[in-house]
Amino acid sequence: MSLYSHPLRRAQAAADLANALVPGLRRGRPFAAPEDDAELLERTNAVIGAHTGLDVDLDDARGLQRSAAQFSEVFTALDAGDRDAAAEKLNGMIVEYGARPTLIKHDGEPWHLHYHPADTPRVPGLSGGFAVGLAILVGTGRADRIGTCSADACDRAYVDATRNGTKRFCSTACQNRAKTAAFRARQSAPNDAEASDKRA
């Protein structure tokens, strides 16, 4: 297992949580926050369940919606190259959610590192752990692997876990949109030049 696989997974969970709960733009269209409690709970459990296998209740979902907004600020700052702002935000979250390294042994697994004791409530346990994952990447020279989508009209977060570190889009759909737009721009460029020459 890669030394950085655990922080990468935690950072990806932070990105997925922000992408699911924070309004903005996604794949060229407006993306709204959950409309009601049922949708908030459904979106939150989809992310948390996929990453941890846990279920959260409505109070937890509301708390995680707040931390999702905090994570979104971190991704936006890193995308803008403002690592100081991102680091300050992450440090604040680590303190707020009481994260601290803790060795835990459970479910037949060997001792392994968590960021809270096993009995920590869901919101601080998850939010703090995700924040530490991001902080480890930022603090080990991997901040360039964290950002927001480069496609037009999309601000969804991504974490680049590829070997060569070239990911710049939140999804294959956005990558394809960007390629299509670039192709169309190249195709129209000669026509624009011809029209300019005729006017001259």
Q: What is the CATH number of the domain that holds 97?
A: 1.10.3300.10
Strand partners, 90: none
- pLDDT score at 1: 38
Pull the structure tokens for residue 67. Answer: 């931390």
Provide the residue range defining the domain that includes 57.
Answer: 5-199
Nearest to residue 84, comparing CAs of 138, 7, 26?
Answer: 138
User: What stretches in the chain show pLDDT beneath 50?
Assistant: 1, 3
- pLDDT score at 75: 97
Buried b vs exposed e over 92-119: b needs ≥16 C-beta within 10 Å?
ebbeebebeeeeeeeeeeeeeebbbeee
Report the half-sphere exposure of 181 (CA within 13 A, side-chain side): 12
- pLDDT score at 192: 56
Radius of gyration (Cα) for the chain, nearest Å?
20
pTM equals 0.87
Query: Quick check: 8 and 133 in contact, CB under 8 A?
Result: yes
Looking at the 3D structure of the chain, how many domains does it have?
1
Nearest to residue 74, comparing CAs of 130, 151, 2, 30?
Answer: 130
